[in-house]
Chains A and B, each alone.
Chain A
Amino acid sequence: MAGSAVTADDRVAPGEDTTTGDAVAEAVDRVGGMLEGIFTTVRETVGRTGALLDAVAAAGRRPTRTDLARLQPLLRGQLARHTGLVSGSGFVAAPGLLADVPAWLEWWQPGPDGRAVPMLLDLDPTTSAYSDYTHWDWYTLPRGTGRRAVSGPYVDYLCTDEYTLTLAAPVLVAGAFAGVAAADVYLRHFEDAVGPALRRIPAPAYLVNPRGRVAASNSALRLAGSLARDLDVAAARGELLLHPCGEIPLTLVTHRS
């Protein structure tokens, strides 16, 4: 099969038998379906936040933290609905959006007893070196592209110190960027959710983000966190196959066994 084109969208790619092809299709469906489910939640936050900010603008004033506090029941509900999978949900305001504070995250996380608790960060640049959150991928990607994004896996040293995937989407008010709605998934929870489907693939297989960072794997040879370089080159040489996960910007890589 060497030299055959990379056909990423074929359910059964050249070089794979039907069993492998079925397992790959199942894994791709599992990953895509699960993350689309979380993106539905993020879209809900986008919609509610946008409506809230629109109403404040229509009233002829600038929003405050009190306005954003009205997202709390929604965010608590989201955490309860995705227990064991979503470890943080909320809206991150663009600096300057709010009238009462320079910057703000309306962000909720499951507390030790399972009840949602707000995250309160020190956003004062004179005391905290971490007050500027506008460089993180989960902020710059939706702001830069105007589209939803999966950022990570990355070590979230801003909030939780956990290895994390963040699903984020921009919130626009009258066409202008107002901040991002997002949800965090700890990588260990992601692995739990997609691991069984990956293990059913009878060949080395792993998920990578667009930069080649491994997010989950079915073999110890290449675990989450490692960087898979030059996948396109390897795919062109016919050493591996690349399978997209629907519209989700993760790719399932399978090696020819």
Chain B
Amino acid sequence: MNRLSSAARRAIFAPLDSEARVEVVVRRLGDAIALGLLADGEQLPGESDLAGRLNVSTVTLREALMALRQQGLVATRRGRGGGTFVQAPADTLHDRLRQTLFAHTIEELRDLADHYAVVAGGTARLAADRADSTDLDAPRRSLQEFADAGDAPARARVDGRLHVEIAAASQSARLTREEIRFQTEIGPLLCLPFAGEQAHRTADRQHRALLDAIAAGDGATARDLAEEHVRDALRPLIETRLDGTWQAAR
């Protein structure tokens, strides 16, 4: 029973050119790493062994490993105890975020922090004037979810939502859009400090104080707390960027 046309069969069984082979190897190993089938830190078999098992040439394998290295999914160490090692996606995320952070200059980050602090402060002051207790149900829920969040990406995601909800409580669509813009720009970067328990606890404490001030209608305190919160969140990012200045220099 040969249901496929002969043309289709030819396409399916056509010999892989070397480019397609590289892609197939990258996809197969990349997927296995992303899915956790190959564990973080696990050493891959040696090049000739692996090439033999996959039935590709060592040239093809080397090209595939280079692509995986560029994606941050493997790292190659030379010398004694060297070889190619799996890097789990969590590390990849971390690396990717560092790259994003390092794409900003210190001056840009300082200016971003200034702008964000002013907007967050003014937004919090307005929210204190205008929010009723029902308006604060959503941020209070997020506050608790943030406190309970175990991993850094979830913390960064919920933190972002919490601040958007506070902005919405100010009843200003423009300020809410501005907050969303800040979240898009630097929200994911907050994964870096939020990986630390200390930063997580500090942010949680500040969230509670901020929401209490807004609920009490104390605009001046809410403004000060929001500004402080932004500066405290961005300071470790700027410090990381300062520490890495020499690395980014080309």
Contacts and interface: CB of A to CB of B under 8 A. Distances in A.
A complexed with B: yes
Interface in B170-197: 170-173, 176-177, 180
B130 A211 contact: no
Given A162-B173, A163-B171, A226 B130 contact: yes
Contacts of B157: 128-129
Interface residues of B, number: 23
B160 interface: yes
Nearest to A152: B171
Interface string A154-174: 110100011100000000000
B64 interface: no
B239 interface: no
A161 B177 contact: yes
A211 B180 contact: no
A126 to B, nearest CB: 9
A226 B170 CA distance: 9
A134 B167 CA distance: 20
Given A129-B160, A161-B176, A155 B132 contact: no
A145 to B, nearest CB: 15
Contact of B171 (A129, A135, A155): A155
Interface in A204-244: 211-213, 225-227
Contact of B164 (A157, A211, A225): A157
Contact of A153 (B131, B160, B165, B171): B171
B6 interface: no
A39 B168 CA distance: 25
A242 B25 CA distance: 73
A129 B158 contact: yes
A135 B137 CA distance: 9
B141 interface: yes
B158 A155 contact: no
Given A212-B132, A227-B132, A155 B167 contact: yes
B112 to A, nearest CB: 21
A134 to B, nearest CB: 11
B134 interface: yes
A225 B173 CA distance: 10
A206 to B, nearest CB: 14
A163 B173 CA distance: 6
Contact of B168 (A157, A211, A213): A157
Pick the most buried of A154, A161, A162, A212: most chain B CB atoms within 10 A of its CB. A161
B161 interface: yes
Interface in B123-147: 129-132, 134, 137-138, 141
B54 to A, nearest CB: 31
A225 B175 CA distance: 13
Given A161-B173, A161-B180, A225-B172, A130 B134 contact: no
B35 to A, nearest CB: 14
Contact of B138 (A135, A163, A213, A225): A135
Contacts of B160: 129
Interface string B99-132: 0000000000000000000000000000001111
Nearest to A224: B171
Nearest to A229: B132
Nearest to A127: B157
Contacts of B171: 153-155, 163, 213, 225-226
B219 to A, nearest CB: 13
A135 B141 contact: yes
Contacts of B180: 157, 161
Contact of A155 (B134, B161, B172): B172
A155 B130 contact: no
30 contacts: A128-B157, A129-B157, A129-B158, A129-B160, A129-B161, A130-B161, A135-B137, A135-B141, A153-B171, A154-B171, A155-B167, A155-B168, A155-B170, A155-B171, A155-B173, A155-B176, A157-B164, A157-B167, A157-B176, A157-B180, A161-B173, A161-B176, A162-B173, A163-B172, A212-B132, A213-B132, A225-B171, A225-B172, A226-B129, A226-B171
The 9 closest A-B pairs by CB, nearest first: A225-B171, A155-B168, A129-B161, A129-B157, A163-B173, A155-B176, A161-B177, A155-B173, A157-B164
Interface of B: 129-132, 134, 137-138, 141, 157-158, 160-161, 164-165, 167-168, 170-173, 176-177, 180
Interface of A: 128-130, 135, 137, 153-155, 157, 161-163, 211-213, 225-227
Given A129-B157, A213-B171, 13 more contacts: A129-B158, A129-B160, A155-B168, A155-B170, A155-B171, A157-B164, A157-B167, A161-B180, A163-B171, A211-B132, A225-B171, A226-B171, A227-B131
